[in-house]
Amino acid sequence: MSALVIALAGHANVGKTSLVSALTRDATLAVNEAAGTTRSHYLKTYALAGEEVLAFVDTPGFEFASRINKWLDAHGGEGSDRLDGRAVLAAFLEDADTTARHDKEKEALRGVLRADVIAYVADVVLDPEGQVVQEVRLLRRAGVPMIGVLNNLHAGDDQSERWVEMLRREGVDNIVRLDALRFPAAQEESFFVALGVMRPEHGATFERIKALRATLDEQNLVRAAVATAETLVDCLAFQHVTSHGTEEEAKRYRSTANERFKEMLRQREEAGFRSIADIYGFAETALEGESLEVRSWSGAVTDDLFDPDALRRYGVSAGTLAAVGALTGSFVDVLGGFGVGTLIGGVSGAAAGLWLGRRVSTSIDAGTLKVGPVDAVQFPSVLLNRSVDCWRQVARRSHADRADVEVGAGDGERLDPREVQSLIRLARKCSKRPEWSGIGGRPGDPDRSRTVDGMTEVVEALLRKQLAQLDQR
Amino acid sequence: MTLRDFVLVEFARAWQEEQGAARVDPEVVGLVREHSAFQEASGPERLLLYAQALLHLRLDDGEGQAAAQSIRGTLSAASILVPLLGVLAGTAMLGAALPPPDVRPVSVFQFVAEGVLLPGVFLVWTLLITQALAGSVGRLHWVAWLLTLVRGRALRTRVGALAGRVLKRSGVTGPLFANFSHIFWVCSLGTFLGLGLWRFAFTDYLFSWSSTLSFTGEQVHRLFGVLSAPVAWIPGVDAPSMEQVRLSEFGSLGLAGETGGAYVQSTADALADQGLRKGWVSVLLAIVAVWGLLPRILAVFTSRAAVGRRIRRSLEDPTSRMILAALSPAPSARGAEPDRSEPHAPSHPEPASITDRAGRGLDVLTFATDPPSPAVLDRLRLSRLGLSGTVAAIASDDDDDAMDAAIAHLGSADGPEGAVVTFGVEAIPDGLKEEFIARVVGAVGRDAAVHVLLTGGERFKRSPRGSRFAQRLTAWRDVAHRAGVPAERVHSDVEESS
Ligand SMILES: Nc1nc2c(ncn2[C@@H]2O[C@H](COP(=O)(O)OP(=O)(O)O)[C@@H](O)[C@H]2O)c(=O)[nH]1
Ligand SMILES: [Mg+2]
């Protein structure tokens, strides 16, 4: 059986293209605040696991439906000569005089006539009066089953109730809510359920989509966890080594090397964010530059890895660290290993010592300057939390959302002590193996791979925990 | 009407144009009608009353008032400063032409150059430039800007542009500029001549000519023959004789010798000098008077006449006629007029000319939304545009009949002068709205004022699309622009930023 074809039709600028974007997980369709962005209808197929499961027809918006209805009424014929809806529409499409004025509407009608189901998209902010009523009547003439889709929903002063009333009055009984921007999974599901009811022969398709989606979701999560773990190992193991003629020279180069080192870490982190976004289908920028801006990845990374405030927000809390200490049986040992021995100075000094500590170790050995690795105890969790933050932004993001993804805006999720413990253990391992870092080289060490795996486990657990939270919202 | 008054009238108009206000503000018309001086006032005086009332009522912000005053003040200042500068320049020129008598003789060439050639060259330049300015005075924007500089920073931008518009719109700038230039030269040449006469009466000067170009005595003689031809009839003024010219050549003057750079006249030639001196003085002064001063005096009058003509022309333009028509005390007469303008069948009403709609102000037209509250109109300063008080509503965006009726009314003789078309900002700026705005523009005429007002901004900003508010406004501006309403005539009831 060929894929079910669903045409999205409605007034100009109500979010038809946005819905196609969200439904097909394609963030590259042209969406714009100016009416008339979509000029001709097109078929957008949706493939899952290499299998075409659905096809959507995106259409230009209606602007003059009332006049078209008038034309159709005038040309519909009388009595026994009366043309049926589709025939009048065909006559209208053929009529040359109206083409200049209504070319976009004709395009939309052509698209609609190809479809098995029409989804009439409504922007609930608008009044369900005037032209939009005319549009529903116009579309009903096509004799294609129709479903009402309420978009742009928000709590409080929307007009959903009035829309439902109007659509029912005009003979559209199937009505679902489907917010293109938030696009909750439950709404998409109910959209599919409604379609399944209207087109029972395609019921299996929707079951199949559900299953494929679940698999894909699972895959994405694991891939994101691996990407994060790779980033972590690369960053935690990284050591920047330069050789110089004399010790003096090396000393002079020290601050430059430091900057270079940080910069390379930053770039590696960004690349990590990028790959997480890619996994979830936010790789490409839209033609109009309106969608996810790749540039903004550098621009929007507001929190610097080395910013004290970032450390405070994403770092592990003192309480957790204490718990970690208890877990390992030796609080001092954990911290001492990272050179934060100053901590034991007293209760008041404890907190400050946690944030600060020696962050980047630098050593000069007869002309060889080594910067890194970062051995601040907070650093692994900062990296991890920022990466997870990025993932949270994209994991359940609607593909209709063209706003920039801002990394570092949210508060980091705290890890539980057991997770921190393994994270720190792995991080410590990394910091002793500069050769594991992929920054500036190719890692191929089997032990590194094992560490990446261990790291992946930690990350994956965290992502799963968070996914549950995301889905609750 | 004096220039100063005219500037006020022009300023008021320029302000109306800039704001996109009704050309005839109904409320101002009411005020003028009640004015005690109204009944006896002539046409131009009524226009002045109208301008004064408008500035008083609508430019209540002080800034605008100050702007009108500053332009008038600048004009007054110029009419004192320009002659003063002319006198100073004339004094300086004479000082340059007359060296101390015992240092060296007066150069007749320099005298003629300063008194005839220099003003002549500038005269040609002035005529050329004012000719050019008559076409386009856009370049004079910076003059306006400079003028307002004097009044401080706050006035510069908005008022500078306004002043530029005043200069631009009436075409009075070219002749006015020329007039000032002529006055300058009349004063400087007058001073040059007067002071010269006085100096020559009390001091003995020796005259000579010399040339780096190889002029012969004959050529110089012929040149002065031509220059003095129009003045030779004056008693005591004679063209220099050949003998006089030959004797005055710098090289042939009997030089007793040079002592320390000072020139000492030889006693032998003293007699001849007497004759030479007298001969040159009168003819040189007469030449400057006729060739230098006289054309400038004539030019002062012609340019003044040109200014007056421009003022009159501007006071008779369609806007003035509209204002006068609206002020004329028989409003019922307008109802009778269609008989005259419609000799043929009245079946399809011709679009009424804008003059027919004088004094009707701008209607507020609502398109599938609620009428804007007076408070909103006040806050956006739209109430300054001369609103008619009429609100026409198109209840639904599919009501073609209501739209047709509204457009027909806008274009009829009973229609308003312009319109403020109101939409809810949440409505989608689509082709239908664009078409409607374009029809409104077409009905009231391209040069009439049409504004687009977008209401419900607060609500929109609170909605999930709130972050797209700026883009939404841009989309509306684009639609309005395509329909013929410039972006600055699109108003939202909330600020775009924040
Ligand atoms: N807040 C919000 N904005 C939306 C929603 N759907 C679409 N938009 C915005 O509405 C505008 C028009 O969307 P578009 O998909 O191009 O509409 P179309 O003309 O019907 O295809 C874009 O700026 C979208 O970002 C939604 O559900 N919520
Ligand atoms: Mg579209």
Decide if pLDDT at A149 tops 90.
Answer: yes
pLDDT at residue B183 in the model: 94
pLDDT tens figures, A392-430: 888 888 998 877 777 655 555 567 778 888 888 888 888
A126-132 mean pLDDT: 91
- Compare A201 and A376 and report the one with higher pLDDT: A201
Is a pLDDT exceeding 50 seen at residue A200? yes
Rg (CA), chain B: 33
Does residue B318 sit within a domain? no
Q: Taking CB atoms and an 8 Å limit, are A35 and B465 in contact across chains?
A: no
Q: What percent of chain B has pLDDT over 70?
A: 77
* B162 in the same domain as B29: yes
The pLDDT score that the predictor gives to residue A318 is 53
Q: Report how many Cβ contacts below 8 Å link chain A to chain B.
A: 72
Omega before B100 within 30 of 0, i.e. cis: no
Chain-chain contact of B475 with A35 (C-beta, under 8 angstroms) = yes
Q: Write the DSSP string, B117-145.
A: IHHHHHHHHHHHHHHHHHH--GGGHHHHH
| Nearest of A394, A358, A376, A371 to residue A228 by alpha carbon | A394
> The domain that contains A151 carries what CATH number?
3.40.50.300
Q: Which of residues 177-216 of B touch A (CB under 8 A)?
A: none
Q: What percent of chain A has pLDDT over 70?
A: 76
* Cα separations in angstroms, A291 against A181, A298, A398, B53: 13, 16, 12, 54
pLDDT at position B315 is 84
What integer pLDDT is reported at residue A130 of this predicted model?
Answer: 92
B468 lines ligand 1 (CB under 6 A): yes
For chain B, how many structural domains are there in total?
Answer: 2
Length of chain B: 498
**pLDDT class of A356 with cuts at 50, 70, 90:** very low
pLDDT at A339: 30
CA distances from B8 to A8, A454, B25, B89 (A): 60, 84, 16, 32
Q: Are residues B392 and B255 in the same domain?
A: no
B328 is a domain residue: no
- Any ligand 1 atom below 6 A from CB of A37: yes
Q: Residue B414 belongs to what domain range?
A: 362-492
Q: How high is the pLDDT of residue A193? A: 93
Q: Residue B473 pLDDT > 60, yes or no? A: yes
pLDDT computed for residue A111 by the predictor: 92
Structural domain contains residue A288: yes
Residue A99, in any domain of the structure: yes
Contacts of B171 (CB under 8 A, 6+ apart): B134, B137, B310, B313, B314
- The answer to whether A393 and A407 have CB atoms below 8 angstroms apart is yes
For residue B92 the two structure tokens come to 């300086």
Pick from A173-182, B182-191, B376-385: least confident: B376-385
The residue among B244 and B274 whose pLDDT is bigger is B244
pLDDT tens digits along A82-101: 667 888 898 899 888 888 88
Is residue A252 over pLDDT 60? yes
Whether residue A375 is contained in a domain is answered as: yes
Cβ atoms < 10 Å from Cβ of B29: 23
- Domain contains A64: yes
- Which candidate from B400, B430, B467 shows the least CB-CB separation from A12? B430
Q: What pLDDT was estimated at residue B261?
A: 40
Least-confidence region, from B9-18, B176-185, B262-271, B431-440 = B262-271
| B302 and B397, same domain (yes or no) | no
Q: Is residue A207 part of a domain?
A: no
Categorize the per-residue pLDDT at B344 as very low, low, confident or very high, splitting at 50, 70 and 90.
very low
pLDDT-based confidence at B305, cuts 50/70/90? Answer: very high
Residue A33 beta carbon below 6 angstroms from any ligand 1 atom: yes
Residue A225's pLDDT band, with cuts at 50, 70 and 90, is very high
Would residue A402 count as lying in a domain? Answer: yes
Helix (H) or strand (E) holding B409: helix B400-411
Do A174 and A273 lie in a common domain? no
Q: Please tell me the predicted confidence (pLDDT) of residue B355.
A: 66
The ligand 1 atom nearest the CA atom of A21: 15
Q: At residue B490, what are phi and psi to the nearest 5 degrees?
A: -105, 120
Instruction: Provide the pLDDT for residue B167.
Output: 67
Q: Are residues A188 and A266 in the same domain?
A: no
* Contact flag A181-B464 (C-beta cutoff 8 Å): yes
Q: Are A20 and A126 found together in one domain?
A: yes
Establish whether residue A230 lines the binding site of ligand 1, counting it when its CB lies within 6 angstroms of any ligand atom. Answer: no
Answer yes or no: is the C-beta of A31 below 6 A from any ligand 1 atom: yes
A329 part of a folded domain:
yes
**Contact assignment for B428 to A126 by CB distance below 8 Å:** yes
* Residue closest by Cα to atom 10 of ligand 1: A15
Specify if A210 maps to a domain.
no
Number of H helices and E strands in chain A, helices first, is 17, 9
With a 6 Å cutoff on the Cβ, whether A291 touches ligand 1 is no
d(CA B234, CA B283): 10
Q: Does B458 touch chain A (CB under 8 A)?
A: no
Name the pTM for this structure. 0.74
Residues A194 and A230 in one domain: no
On whether both B447 and B372 belong to a single domain, the answer is: yes
- A9 and A75 housed in the same domain: yes
SS3 B369: coil
Mean pLDDT along residues A349-358? 36
pLDDT the model gives residue A223: 95
Inter-chain CB proximity A130 and B429 less than 8 Å: no
Q: Choose the final residue of a domain: B312, B330, B351.
A: B312
Query: Which ligand has the shortest distance to the CA of A63?
Result: 1
Residues A262 and A191 in one domain: no
pLDDT of residue A350: 33
- Answer with the one of A198, A232, A251 that is the final residue of a domain: A198
* One domain, residues B289 and B403: no
Question: Do A147 and A89 reside in the same domain of the chain?
Answer: yes
Residues in Cβ contact with B14 at an 8 Å cutoff, skipping those fewer than 6 apart = B162, B165, B166, B169
pLDDT of residue B264: 45
Query: Which amino acid appears at position B452 of this protein?
Result: V
Cα–Cα distance between A173 and A194 in angstroms, integer? 10
Q: Domain range holding A118?
A: 4-198
- B139 occurs within a structural domain: yes
**Are the beta carbons of B68 and B8 closer than 8 angstroms?**
yes
Q: How far apart are CA A274 and CA A269, in angstroms?
A: 9
**Per-residue pLDDT tens over the stretch B421-466:** 999 998 999 999 999 999 999 998 877 889 999 998 888 888 777 7
Asked whether residue A241 falls in the same domain as residue A187, the answer is no
Least confident of A149-158, A303-312, B225-234, B239-248: A303-312
DSSP alpha helices (H): ranges in A199-242?
203-237
Q: Higher model confidence: residue A79 or residue B2?
A: B2
Q: CA–CA separation, B8 vs A234, rounded Å?
A: 76
Count: domains in chain A: 2
B45 inside 8 A of chain A by CB: no
Single out the residue in B277, B312, B347 at which a domain terminates. B312
| CA A35 to ligand 2 centroid distance, Å | 8
pLDDT at A369: 82
Higher pLDDT, A80 or B256: A80
Of residues A375 and A151, the one with the higher pLDDT is A151
Would you call A421 helix, strand, or coil by DSSP? helix
CA neighbor of A458 nearest in space, from A226, A142, A117: A226
Does the Cβ of A38 fall within 6 Å of ligand 1?
yes
Q: Does the beta carbon of A14 sit less than 6 angstroms from any atom of ligand 1?
A: yes
Whether residue B430 and residue A35 make contact (CB cut-off 8 A), yes or no, is yes
- Ligand 1 atom nearest the C-alpha of A36 is 19
Instruction: Please report which ligand is nearest the Cα atom of A180.
Output: 1
**Residue with the nearest Cα to atom 7 of ligand 1?**
A15
Asked if B478 has any chain A CB less than 8 Å from its own CB, the reply is: yes
Q: Is the confidence at residue B163, as pLDDT, over 70?
A: no
% of chain A exceeding 90 in pLDDT: 28
Q: Is residue B155 part of a domain?
A: yes
Instruction: Show residues of chain A in contact with B432, CB under 8 Å.
Output: 63-64, 131
Chain A residues with CB-CB distance to B under 8 A? 11-14, 33-36, 61, 63-67, 70, 104, 123, 125-127, 129-131, 133-134, 152-154, 157, 181, 403
SS3 of B107, please?
Answer: strand
B183 in the same domain as B56: yes
Residue B331 lies in a domain: no
Is the minimum CB–CB distance between B399 and chain A shorter than 8 Å? Answer: yes
The yes-or-no verdict on residue A53 having pLDDT over 50 is yes
Residue A316 pLDDT greater than 90, yes or no: no
* Sign of the four-CA dihedral B159, B165, B170, B171: positive
Question: What is the distance in angstroms between the Cα of B436 and the nearest Cα belonging to chain A?
Answer: 12
CATH number, domain with residue B406: 3.40.50
Of B198 and A266, more confident: B198
Mean pLDDT across chain A, nearest whole number? 77
Identify whether residues A300 and A257 lie together within a single domain: yes
- Of the pLDDT bands very low, low, confident and very high (cuts 50, 70, 90), residue B157 is low
**Whether residue B109 sits in one domain with residue B250:** yes
Q: What is the pLDDT of residue B295?
A: 93
Least confident of A176-180, A282-286, B398-402, B459-463: A282-286
Nearest CB to A129 within list B396, B430, B432: B396
Average pLDDT, chain B: 79
Query: How buried is B378 (Cβ within 10 angstroms: 0-12 exposed, 13-18 middle, 19+ buried)?
Result: exposed
Spatial CB neighbours of B166, under 8 Å, sequence gap ≥ 6: B7, B10, B11, B14, B71, B144
Ligand 1 site-directed mutation target among A16, A18, A59, most atoms within 8 Å of CB: A18
Q: Which of A13, A63, A101, A132 to mutate to test the interface with B (most CBs of B within 10 A)?
A: A63
Distance from CA of B482 to the nearest CA of A (A): 13
- List C-alpha distances in Å: B444 to A136, A166, B335, B397: 35, 37, 19, 21
Q: Does residue A386 carry a pLDDT above 60?
A: yes
Last residue of a domain, one of B249, B282, B312: B312
Q: How confident is the model at residue A327 (pLDDT cuts 50, 70, 90)?
A: very low
